[in-house]
Every structure is written in C-alpha cells, then in structure tokens.
Homo-oligomer: A and B are copies of this chain.
Amino acid sequence: MVSRTRFDDSECPVARSVDAIGDWWSLLIVRDAFDGSRRFGEFQRSLGVAKNILTARLRALVAGGVLESVPASDGSAYREYVLTSKGRALFPVIVALRQWGEQNFFAPGEPHSQLVDRRQGQQLRALEVLSADGRPLDPDDTTVHKLSPR
C-alpha cells in the first residue's frame, strides 16, 4: 500500500510530493496536525471523514515519514500521531494553500479561520517567491530546466 509512483512523471519534485502526500484528506490531516490535533478521534471529528479512510491515510502518512505514531502524551495507553520534521517542512505548502483560499474564495468581510503569529496575534505576511538574490519573481520570470545534473 506504499503505492509507488501513481504519477510516473517522477523526475519532477512536484509529482513526487503529490505522490507522497497521497490525497486531499491527507493534506487536511496535516493541516489539523499543524493546528494541534494528535489523536485519531480528534482528526476524525475535525474532518468528518469515515474511520476506515482515516485509518488508511494515517497509516500511509506514517509509512511516508510525514507523521509518526508515538505513545500518548497524557499517559494513557493510546497512541498519537505527530508531525515528523519532514511533515513540519510542509508548513509553507499549507500556508500557501491557505493564503490562496483566503484571497480567492472569501467575500470581503466573510469570516474564516485565520492563521496568526502567536507573538503578536497578527496575520502572516503573504508568501513571496524570491530569486537567489531576493527579487520577487512572477511565474514568467522563471523556467524549468529538465534533469539538472548536480
């Protein structure tokens, strides 16, 4: 069930990422994990996903090294699912999706959950794609080089 290369386009890092995450539910699981969810039941109630699906996705995320299963922090005999460092590295992905959603799918003034800096309670700065020397880049300012050697 590790399901190699659904997208055989695998010299592209985007395709490998997509393949590693698995599906949309998995991404929402990761989002909830960033937001503090750790237990099976928390994910299930938060997402409203069927339990068999959740089971499969959690297992896949653990197998893929995005989550790991650790003994529960409250001393009970249950287990918890926490982000690995690889999983935490998905932070910019989630933030990018969040900002795209905020900017395109909410009417002005429509309420929505908001990700804020814990220190100051402020909204985050919009992500910027920058060149090596710090210039902001549009899509048109970039090209893809196929198969770059080291």
List chain A positions with a Cβ less than 8 A from chain B: 6-9, 11-18, 20, 23-24, 27-28, 31, 34-35, 46-48, 83, 86, 88-106, 108-120, 122-125, 127-135, 137-150
Contact between A17 and B123 (Cβ–Cβ < 8 Å)?
A: no
Tell me which residues across on chain B come within 8 A of A28, comparing CB atoms: 7, 9, 14-15, 18
Contact between B92 and A129 (Cβ–Cβ < 8 Å)?
A: yes
Tell me which residues across on chain B come within 8 A of A120, comparing CB atoms: 131-133
Tell me which residues across on chain B come within 8 A of A18, comparing CB atoms: 24, 27-28, 97
Tell me which residues across on chain B come within 8 A of A139, comparing CB atoms: 34, 83, 88, 91
Tell me which residues across on chain B come within 8 A of A130, comparing CB atoms: 124-125
A95-B144 Cα distance, complex, nearest whole Å: 11
Tell me which residues across on chain B come within 8 A of A14, comparing CB atoms: 27-28, 31, 94, 97-98, 101
A15-B106 Cα distance, complex, nearest whole Å: 12
Residue of B nearest to A122 (CB): B132
Once A98-B14, A99-B92 are accepted as A-B contacts, the answer to whether A132 and B104 lie under 8 Å apart by CB is: no
Residue of B nearest to A127 (CB): B92
A-B contact pairs, 28 of them (CB 8 A): A6-B24, A11-B111, A12-B31, A13-B97, A13-B99, A13-B101, A13-B112, A14-B31, A17-B105, A20-B104, A23-B24, A83-B139, A91-B139, A92-B96, A92-B99, A92-B127, A108-B150, A111-B150, A113-B144, A115-B145, A116-B145, A117-B137, A118-B141, A122-B131, A124-B130, A124-B142, A127-B127, A127-B129
